[in-house]
Structure 1
Amino acid sequence: MLRGLTILGGCLLLAGCADLKMPQFGKRSAAPQSAISDPLPLPTPELSAPPPKPGATTAEALDTTTPEQRAAVTAAPAAAGGSLGTVVVTLGDPTTPGFWLRSSLVSAPEPGMIKTAGGVTVQVDLMPGEGAAQLSLAAFRAAGLSLTDLPTVEVLKR
């Protein structure tokens, strides 16, 4: 009888594990889950851009923003809000177009800007995120930052 209960209990435990999302050994996901999920809507359409063409591999081909957009986002803003803090930024998904920053400094999408150590400001859409702060390819380029660096930027409300 005790043996039967032990087997039944083990079966119930295993059945409960079926609902857990366990990684499959030997298989790797093509992209992290955050990159697979639908992106959050951007609060400012003028900072968005169309997705890059399939097969794009260079920074120029992946950055689909226009010269006019790049000039507009680096122009002096009318008034900057308060500082949200500073973060070290990594290059975000280069296939996600537009000027954006994902970080844990915000809990909902809102307009903002970054300021580099050299004083360059770039208007961006602030998006909530976890882990390392990620800056879009277009924002990296507009700020004049090297794509291989891990620069520290100040994040401001707009």
Structure 2
Amino acid sequence: MRQLVLIPVLALALSGCALFEKQAGGPRSIPGPAEPAPVTEVAPAVATTTMGARAVRAEALDKTTAAEKAAALAAPAKGGERELGKVVVALGPPAEQGIWLSSALVKERAQGRIVTAAGKSLAVELRPGTGGALLSLAAFQALGLSLTALPEVTVYGP
């Protein structure tokens, strides 16, 4: 029984010795890994562009005519429409043509309208979506928005 009590006391006393050794001897340096050897080879220079050789201008992807964009901008607010909410929109797939908005605020396809914070209004096709709201390339261009912007728009629909 005495031996069982003696073991924890000895362990505690020996661990205390390490504290005195650190204070008396100062900080000890711990050997770390060896310094890595300097690089002697250099990778060859590579010519790159932002999107590579397959880069295409946004205008080439958008098949919506200027007349269609002008008509969407000039479309008046319809009677009976209501505000569905505000969403932050990102650029949708550029290959999908037309002037549309895909949002979780919309339950079925319908004609509606969006208004930017600057007050610009645009008639759009409202499409149901999940996750973040997406706005077509043609709509971004009609509203004069930067393709990298994440503007907030107010959505109006039936």
Per-residue displacement from partner, 1:96-148 (whole Å, max 9, x unpaired)? 00000000001110001110001101110000000010000000111111111
The 5 A counterparts of 1:118-157 are 118-157=118-157
Distance 2:136 2:77 in 1: 23
The 5 A counterparts of 1:103-118 are 103-118=103-118
Q: Read off the aligned partner of 1:82 and give its amino acid letter.
A: R
Q: Read off the aligned partner of 1:119 and give its amino acid letter.
A: G
Query: Alpha-carbon deviation of 1:56?
Result: 7.8
The 8 Å contact of residues 77 and 113 in structure 2, kept in 1 or not, is answered as: no
Per-residue displacement from partner, 1:53-74 (whole Å, max 9, x unpaired)? xx78211111111111011000
Query: Alpha-carbon deviation of 1:78?
Result: 4.8
Structure 2: stretches of 5+ with no match in the other structure: 1-53
Answer yes or no: is 1:68 the counterpart of 2:67.
Answer: yes
Answer yes or no: is 1:59 the counterpart of 2:29.
Answer: no
The 8 Å contact of residues 56 and 62 in structure 1, kept in 2 or not, is answered as: no
Q: Read off the aligned partner of 2:69 and give its amino acid letter.
A: R
Rg comparison, structure with higher value: 2
Distance 2:129 2:98 in 1: 16
Distance 1:157-1:61 versus aligned 2 partners, 3 A rule: same
Structure 1: stretches of 5+ with no match in the other structure: 1-54
CA-atom RMSD in angstroms: 1.5
Q: Which residue of 2 aligns with 1:10?
A: none
Distance 1:157-1:147 versus aligned 2 partners, 3 A rule: same
The 5 A counterparts of 1:78-117 are 78-79=77-78, 81-117=81-117
Distance 1:91 1:140 in 2: 7
Q: How many percent of aligned residue pairs carry the same amino acid?
A: 53
SS in 2 for 1:86: strand
Distance 1:99 1:147 in 2: 15
Query: Alpha-carbon deviation of 1:157?
Result: 1.4
Question: Aligned pairs, how many?
Answer: 104
